[in-house]
Chains A and B, each alone.
Chain A
Amino acid sequence: MVFVVIVGGFVIGRWVGAQPLPPGLPVTYDRLLKAHEEPGNWLMYGGDYRSHHFSTLEEITSENVQRLRVKWIYQMHRQKVETTPIVVDGVMYVTRPPSDVIALDAATGRALWTYEHRMSSPVYTCCGDVNRGLAALDHTLFLTTLDARLLALDARSGRVLWKKEIADPTLNYTATGAPLIVKDKVIVGIGGAEGGICGFLDAYDAKTGERAWRLWTVPAPGEPGSETWGTGDAWKHGGGSTWTTGSFDPALNLVYWGTGNPGPDYNGDSRPGDNLYTCSLLAVNPDTGTMKWHFQFTPHDTRDWDATQVPVLIDGVGGRKLVVVASRNGFYYVLDRTTGEFLRAKPFAKQTWTKEIDSKGRPVVNPGQEPTPEGNESIWPGVDGGGNWMSPSYSPATNLLYFMAREERRRFFKTDAPEFQPGEAFFGGGGGGGARFRPEESWGKLVAVSPETGDVKWEHRILAPPWSGVLSTAGNLVFSATPSGNFFALDARTGKELWWFNGGERVFASPITFLSRGRQMITIPIGDVLIAFGLD
């Protein structure tokens, strides 16, 4: 009897002391709507529906960040880790290239389960076998895969609940972005404009996987906007991919989603006109997939300046609902997110392609800023922007928007328009570097701007153009990383550098923060490892 009591006490003690995994499910839609009220978790790609990528956690502050230390490392053994994990009450769900999912104990970095995706076919990808993350609803995780599938996984086991083909990967369609949950739907984008796809944005029923709607980003003849494509068949391979996750305003019931470049990327001869709705921000009704408004940043793009930057939703003076974008074309834009009205644009990086942005938001382009057969080396920004897909961050504490910017010029050249071929690129030219460009001619910076005006408050220069996003916290901190592998923290108000850590490899991802056993942690993939930091 004594033995039974002792053993029973031990078992109960172990049970009481252990962290039950996973206790945080289900992730209801109501929780997603209030994601910003759960700072211990990171429930979606952008942190919340406004894509603020901000946390009210304040254990780690500008006063103590010097004590930040590595707590654990998870080895992925993959190249180009671009993922943003989600965290639900002690469990981190993270993707690794090409399309795998791992559930980790957020306290220790130990794997709880792994889902390894088997490709249905070889896939053409322009830019690596990447994946940027997951979405969660109830007990289910949603994953897009490189072979253009949408999968529902049981978050408790990694078991596949259903699998749907978004598009045919043998025709160069691919999916790399994190889905966005809106109500009972899973909204997913598509990639492959470099392979000659015709882009769209999709929504699927979260329970069944049935497609609820599809919004084509390139109109077919006769549809609104088709007059911007000339009279030929260019629209069939017109690009307009949707590979970065958008944002959502529940009050307006609008999803905001950026679209990619037209195709062929560098040769626009076969597609005379503005090429709607490429290089645009779309405001979409998530119930029906109808477009309420659009705003095109770069009409008739020939420099591969996708507008797939994360749109950030902020409220301006007087409560005006705004959406702001640091565009790949080098300009910071402020739009009214109710109507799509253009309010202002300011360059945040060196740009040579346009004289000005007019009162309607249309660029007044400079001559001589197009790709040429022999190569045009005069164009700033380079093919990769300006801005790009890396997450920006808005801090209500400082009322500043932070984003990483790329300063560089590149050599743009034009060749004959290619014929579409499965498995092959569809460029019509290139935007390569060229050994004539010195390192001093390309650099990067973290920019803090007043979000309503675009006025720069401070800049933090880094050595090379970055591929990392930004996290800001109520601890008066801003985190980001450099291509040198340095993960760093700045004072959110002043931009003063406070702490850094050499991770030893290029960073292609954005940091996030969460609570683990009551302690604040910060994590970011550096090279092919996921590293979690916390205070001593």
Chain B
Amino acid sequence: MRTRTALAIGWITCVALVSAQNPERRPRPLPSNLPETNPFTSATDLEIGRKLYQGRCGHCHGQSGEGGRGAVLNAGNFRRGGSDRELFVTIRNGIPNTEMPGAFNLPDIEIWRVVGYVQQLARQGTAERSAGDAVAGAMVYQKNGCATCHRIDAAGGFIGPDLTDIGAKRALRYLRESIVDPSADIPLDYRLVSVTDRRGRNVSGIHLNEDEYSIHLRDIDGNLRSFMKTELTGITLPRQSLMPAYASLPPVDVENLVAYLSSLRPARRP
């Protein structure tokens, strides 16, 4: 079972800025007098914030905050806190070990304007509700052996992404697409790689690391494998998920499974 959890990879960011010399992605110290409430909430500020959001945020979080690869923002629930100040910190610094980068080079006033627009999205309260049955979805999860590859809390495998918090990270439509067409968008930390050595032996697994001379993968048994490229006759990176597509799963099972995955949310962390 594949869904879209991915660890942060510095050079592939959703919203990162790069600039004239070369990119710098490092949190700036927060202002010592950072206010608790947004000082920039006029209609003009919100309109500027909307445009900033559209350019920087919408392609992951959805142009209306409906979510996608990024978390749903139009439901009013924010894992990292929904106060103006908390949103400011999240947007400015990003979230470590996730795909959410910081807006490291965005002026503070523009971050406040984005905060204002995100709060406006949150007030819509239009988050999609799953029509499925989460309890039944848990059975679907069990029956189809999803735990062979995926982990929820301490139980499950390691081949696929950890799903412990997945409901808070991904929109319903994204979860749905991940089930029926997992190759539609593959997290970079879960890319399939296949290598062939000089004897014609094939080894496939999850791409872990690569440089000009060597490549490293985790095979489906969990073995960490390392190859010098001079020992190989072929390396392929299929744009295909290691997870089988569950397109033939009955729609009701898909919806129940989506409901179950969507219910997997952590208690709010400090």
Interaction A to B: yes
Of B14, B19, B58, B108, which is within 8 A of A427 by CB?
A: B19
Residues 1-50 (chain B) with a chain A CB within 8 angstroms: 6, 11-24, 26, 48
Of A125, A308, A384, which is within 8 A of B18 by CB?
A: A384
Contact B108 A424 (CB under 8 A): yes
Is B52 interfacial (CB 8 A cutoff)? yes
Residues 93-142 (chain B) with a chain A CB within 8 angstroms: 99, 105-110
Is B56 interfacial (CB 8 A cutoff)? yes
Is A241 interfacial (CB 8 A cutoff)? yes
Is A130 interfacial (CB 8 A cutoff)? yes
Contacts of A127 in B (CB 8 A): 19-24
CB contact under 8 A between A375 and B19, given known A433-B13, A485-B211: no
Is B59 interfacial (CB 8 A cutoff)? yes
Binds B, one of A13-21, A34-42, A139-147, A434-442: A434-442
B57-73 interface bits toward A, Cβ cutoff 8 Å, 1 = contact, 0 = none: 01110010000010000
Of B51, B212, B213, B237, which is within 8 A of A416 by CB?
A: B51
A198-217 interface bits toward B, Cβ cutoff 8 Å, 1 = contact, 0 = none: 00000000000000000000
Q: How far is the CB of B25 from chain A (nearest CB, A)?
A: 9
Contact A413 B107 (CB under 8 A): no
Contacts of A437 in B (CB 8 A): 12
Is B210 interfacial (CB 8 A cutoff)? yes
Contact B188 A430 (CB under 8 A): no
Contact A502 B211 (CB under 8 A): yes
> Interface size (B, Cβ < 8 Å)?
42
Is A370 interfacial (CB 8 A cutoff)? no
Contacts of A80 in B (CB 8 A): 24
Contacts of A176 in B (CB 8 A): 21
Contact B17 A432 (CB under 8 A): yes
Q: How far is the CB of A119 from chain B (nearest CB, A)?
A: 14
Q: How far is the CB of B6 from chain A (nearest CB, A)?
A: 8
Of A130, A427, A485, which is within 8 A of B21 by CB?
A: A130
A464 to B107, CA, bound (A): 30
Is B234 interfacial (CB 8 A cutoff)? no
Of B20, B51, B58, B212, which is within 8 A of A261 by CB?
A: B20
Is B251 interfacial (CB 8 A cutoff)? no
Is A306 interfacial (CB 8 A cutoff)? yes
A259 to B117, CA, bound (A): 37
Is B54 interfacial (CB 8 A cutoff)? yes
Contact B55 A429 (CB under 8 A): yes
Contact A432 B107 (CB under 8 A): no
Contact B21 A373 (CB under 8 A): no
Contact A304 B55 (CB under 8 A): no
Is A415 interfacial (CB 8 A cutoff)? yes
Contact B19 A438 (CB under 8 A): no
Residues 55-81 (chain A) with a chain B CB within 8 angstroms: 79-80
CB contact under 8 A between A373 and B55, given known A265-B20, A485-B211: yes
Q: How far is the CB of B3 from chain A (nearest CB, A)?
A: 15
Binding site for B on A (CB under 8 A): 79-80, 125-128, 130, 176, 191, 193-194, 241, 243, 260-261, 265, 304, 306, 308, 373-375, 382-384, 388-389, 410-411, 413-416, 418, 421, 424-425, 427, 429-440, 462-464, 467, 482, 484-486, 488, 500, 502, 508
Give 8 pairs: A residue, B residue, CB < 8 Å, sorted on A.
A265-B20, A374-B54, A416-B51, A418-B110, A425-B17, A427-B106, A429-B55, A431-B17
Query: What are the 7 closest A-B residue pairs judged by CB atoms, nearest first?
Result: A424-B107, A484-B211, A413-B55, A127-B21, A126-B19, A432-B16, A128-B24
